[in-house]
Amino acid sequence: MRKLFYLLAAAIVLMILTTAFGIYWLSQSDITKAREESAVAEAKNVALGLSAQIDLLNKTLDKMTQDPDVLNAVALGNNGLLKMAAAKLEQYIPDILKIRILLPDTHEIDDQTQPSMGFADLELVRETLNGNPFPGIQGEKGAGRHFAIARGIYQNGKITGVILASFDENVVLKSLRLASIKNGYMELKQGPVVLGTLGDKMAVGHIDAKEINVANTNWTIHYQYPDSTGLGDLALLGSLIFTTSFVALLALFVGHRWLSNILRQDLESLMKAFKDIMTHNSQSNYPLELTEFTAAISNLMQFKRVLDYGDRESPAELESGVNIIVNDDDDFDIEGLFDEVNGFKL
């Protein structure tokens, strides 16, 4: 019985472990796929929002390049008129820091007004002479950092000047912060420079980041989603398996002890009953827990009576009300001897 107990315990534990890991493995693929799809959707929404904002600013500045005062100031090349036209345009754009209307031959930086126009801004102006370049965040962190957009001023199909608009960088970052993200972590990057972040980096584990481009810019969004096989999930799974296995083993141990005690007591009563029956000293009460043993004692008593009256041709009616007719001991059929009277069978 002890070997059977060990085999049952090992089988139950193995079944629990196999079932738990099987369910865990199947669920993780679905969870990982759902988290990835959610992170991709959130990244695309952020990218679309930023792209739409940049597109709106580009269209606004394109219309300003055709303002009559701007065209007249560029045609005359008068610095006073250029500054006046730029000051007028600043009134119509929210969050604007500075608008400069520059001629194609501009090659000097401007550090007298804020935000300053540095070498990165000059490079943006030069690129505008050959087409409309992507806007970008210019300058180092702190004072003077700004978001710059340059658009060309065309007359008769020829570029005659450039509008350089400098915005507070929070125009972009504010849009990023307003975006909602439920799963994962995002970084808005301009090349290697991180412009802004969204989400909790600690929640994504060590899973590799994926990226998506932001239209109308040279920015990329690097996004990560939570690792479905994190230590927290594995610890929870391990504790659940351990608890379940421990309860199963405890139940088997208690059951084994209980059944062993019952069998020992019933076997003692059965052996005592057998001894008493064979010595014609049977008692009326033998304490038994298992009803199968009760039926066995009853059948043993009947069998003993059969043996006692085996040499008679017509035995008397037994006290139990059972008529037994035996012609020869060899003809006695003991099949079903230990069958339970009430329909149960050993």
pLDDT at 162 over 90: yes
Q: How, if at all, do strands 158-167 and 96-102 pair?
A: antiparallel
**Whether the predicted pLDDT of 329 surpasses 60:** no
Highest mean pLDDT among 19-23, 167-171, 250-254: 167-171
- Tokens 């060899």 correspond to what residue? 330
> Mean pLDDT across the stretch 157-180?
84
Hey, what are 190's tokens?
């301009």
Question: Given pLDDT bands bounded at 50, 70 and 90, which one contains residue 323?
Answer: very low
Instruction: Report the pLDDT value the prediction gives residue 206, as an integer from 0 to 100.
Output: 60
What would the pLDDT profile of 36-67 be if each residue is shown by its tens digit? 777 788 888 888 888 888 999 999 999 999 99
145-174 burial, b if ≥16 CB within 10 A, otherwise e? Answer: ebbbbbbbbeeeeebbbbbbbbbbbebbbe
The tens digit of pLDDT for each residue in 96-144 reads: 999 999 999 888 888 888 888 888 899 999 999 888 788 989 877 766 7
Q: Above 70 in pLDDT, residue 270?
A: yes
Residue 20, pLDDT above cutoff 50 = yes
Judged against a pLDDT cut of 80, whether residue 247 lies above it is answered with no
Closest CA to 148 of 13, 58, 246: 58
Coil, strand or helix at 281: coil
* Dist. CA 63–CA 45, nearest whole Å: 27
Helix (H, G, I), strand (E, B) or coil at 227: coil
Cα atoms found within 13 Å of the Cα of residue 25, Cβ hemisphere only:
6
Q: Is the pLDDT of residue 30 over 50?
A: yes
Q: Which of 24-28, 147-151, 178-182, 196-200 has the highest mean pLDDT?
A: 147-151
Name the more confident of 344 and 296.
296
The structure tokens listed for 84 are 């006046």
Q: How far is it, in rounded angstroms, from Cα 170 to Cα 120?
A: 19
Q: In whole angstroms, what is the distance from residue 147 CA to residue 173 CA? A: 10
- Asked if residues 274 and 303 have their Cβ atoms less than 8 Å apart, the reply is no
pTM confidence score: 0.58
- Position 342 pLDDT exceeds 50: no
Residue 266: per-residue pLDDT: 77
Buried b (16+ CB within 10 A) or exposed e, 324-342: bebeeeeeeeeeeebebee
Q: How far apart are CA 89 and CA 100, in angstroms?
A: 10
| Residue 9, token pair as written in the block | 């315990």
What is the tens place of the pLDDT at every residue in 186-226? 888 998 888 888 877 766 656 677 888 998 888 998 888 77
Longest dimension (CA), the chain: 147
Q: Give the mean model confidence (pLDDT) for residues 139-156.
A: 85
pLDDT of residue 229: 52
- Mapped onto helix, strand or coil, the DSSP state of residue 315 is coil
